[in-house]
Structure 1
Amino acid sequence: MICSFQLAIYCNSLVKSIMVVYIPAFIYILNSYFLDVIHACIRQTLLSKVIYIAFKVISLVFYYLTLILGVPGNVFVMYVAGLMMKRTVNTVGFLNLAIADLLCCLSTLYYVTESTFNENWPYGSIMCKILTFIMVITMFASIFTLNLISLDRFVQVITPVWAQNHRSLFIARLSCATAWILASILSLPFMMLRETGNNKTYCRLYRRNEEHFELYGRLSIIRFVFGFLVPLICITTCYGLIARKLGRSHFHSGRAFRIMFAVIVAFFLCWLPYHILLLIIMYGEKSSSLVAVAVNPLSVSLAYFNSCLNPVLYVFMGQDFKSNVKLSLRRVFERVFSEEGTQMTHTTQSQQTHSLQTQQVI
């Protein structure tokens, strides 16, 4: 009886100690832990928001620079290559590249409009689709045109006799037209998947269901492969074989090489972050996707900034900048778009032929 009474007293004191000491301590620790987690989440959210806003501001600067530099620069390139110079294979290629770059510069108005209206889209579904089509087709048209210019350089150097007999304006125009047709075909699916939502205020990917979203993911892979990876391999192969054929010293001293090398490197450096981040958003882990979404505005603006760089590169890379300052802009572009590559190839070929003849005589 006494033991039972003592056991009851012990249990009562144990319950009281649990209620008075342990449970409040546990609740305090639990609350403290969750408060720390909540505060960390708040800090992380605020930091992410600050980073996102900072990237948005920087991207807007890139968009305005693209418009200010790109529109007049590419219009002037079109004026010189299309109206003031004799039509050649070179001028056809650079003219098409300038047209694609000009359209790309103008399509940045989409992002400027969204930022002005606080990411709202006031112009309806049709304009949403049209601008999406223009944005994608200019990317494909630019890289396809760069491929054609690289292949033209390759043909001139590797097979100069064939180039002299078959390299013509008709083939150049037909090749550029084919590039634009292929770019249009590859751009149409992206246009169809864009739609306005939320009472027609957002121009975004229209995610009807999961299958619809997976389709966009597959299209993104196609865009990366045909709009970046395959052209990169093709262009790198072309210029690698050209360098091997001509020799390093002669290759690096040519004006045509400097210009095209700068244009191609600028294109791939500007577009690489865009493609990588888009694939991470579509297929990456959730944490990686969130980071990619925050950085994405900057990568998009950098990609479009490339469209204003080519006219600047033509001036700075065409010849020594001091000599370019003394010339009019028209004369600078005329020197850039001249058929120097063909002349260089013929000179190299004649030197090689003369060397072979000398060896045979000896």
Structure 2
Amino acid sequence: MDVIPQFVYAKQIEAGDEKRECRMKYTVDSAWPVSAFRFLIGFTIPFLVILVCHLVVFSMTQRRMTRGRTGSNKTLRVVISVVLSFFLCWIPLHIVDFLILTTPRVSSASPKLHLAHVIVLFLAYFNSCLNPLLYVCLGQSFKDSMNRSLRNILHFIEQSFRKRISNFC
């Protein structure tokens, strides 16, 4: 749904002798509704879906856990991390979008806003990479496997070191 404005307002322009670019051509009247549409479809609805789904998962795991166990606390950490990471990664993009709308193109802040837009766009897309890392790194199985791996590495180093010393002597 977020691409509908792209189809409506995308225009091909000549950018040189043999180069063409696709640029968004918004009118003053269409820019605000398009940005509001993108905020609703691209942030508000996904944020609410993520929040509700993760709260349902948390409540289900909390009911299944016996009192005093730390599993529900770990689940809560994952839920908070995923929801907060979505919010912190995506809200700057929409803030900058609205700032661009309110800043005149001839303003000295305009080039800075366009640079900020590139940076916050990267941050928003980085959220897709961040989510799997949060699930893996905050999960108990990851910590257990990391501990086993580190112990195995240290054991390997110790064995290699002892073997070299015995060969040296």
Aligned to 2:98: 279
Q: Of 117, 132, 140, which residue of structure 2 is paired with 1:311? A: 132
Show CA shifts across 1:203-262 (max 9, x none): 32135xxxx35313311112113332355466557749x77xx69x87974244333332
Higher helix share: 1
**Structure 1 pair 314–291 and aligned structure 2 pair: CA distance change class (3 A):** same
Distance in 2 (CA, whole Å) between partners of 1:288 and 1:319 is 46
Aligned partner of 2:9 among 181, 193, 196:
193
Please tell me whether the aligned partners of residues 251 and 257 of structure 1 are also in contact (alpha carbons under 8 angstroms): no
Q: Does structure 1 residue 206 correspond to structure 2 residue 25? A: yes
Amino acid in structure 1 at the alignment position of 2:34: L
Per the alignment, in what secondary structure is the counterpart of residue 197 of structure 1?
Answer: strand
Aligned to 2:87: 268
**Higher relative contact order at CA 8 Å, sep ≥6: structure 1 or structure 2?**
1
| 1:319 positional shift | 1.3
Identify unmatched segments of 5+ residues in structure 1.
1-184, 328-362
2:44 counterpart of 1:223:
no
* 2:115 pairs with 1:294: yes
* Structure 2 spans left out of the alignment, 5+ residues: 150-169
Counterpart contact for 2:47–2:86, Cα < 8 Å: no
Pair 1:322 & 2:143 matched: yes
Residue 273 of structure 1 deviates from its aligned partner by 1.2
User: Are the equivalent residues in 1 in contact too, given 2:2–2:42 (CA < 8 A)?
Assistant: no
TM alignment of 1:104-253, pairs within 5 A: 185-199=1-15, 200-207=19-26, 212-232=27-47, 239=55, 253=71
Larger radius of gyration: 1
- Shift in Å, 1:269: 1.0
Could you state the TM-score of these two structures normalised by the residue count of structure 2? 0.61
Q: Aligned partners of 2:11 and 2:70: how far apart in 1?
A: 48
Matched AA of 1:324: S
Q: Normalising by structure 1, what TM-score?
A: 0.31
C-alpha root-mean-square deviation of aligned residues, in Å?
3.4
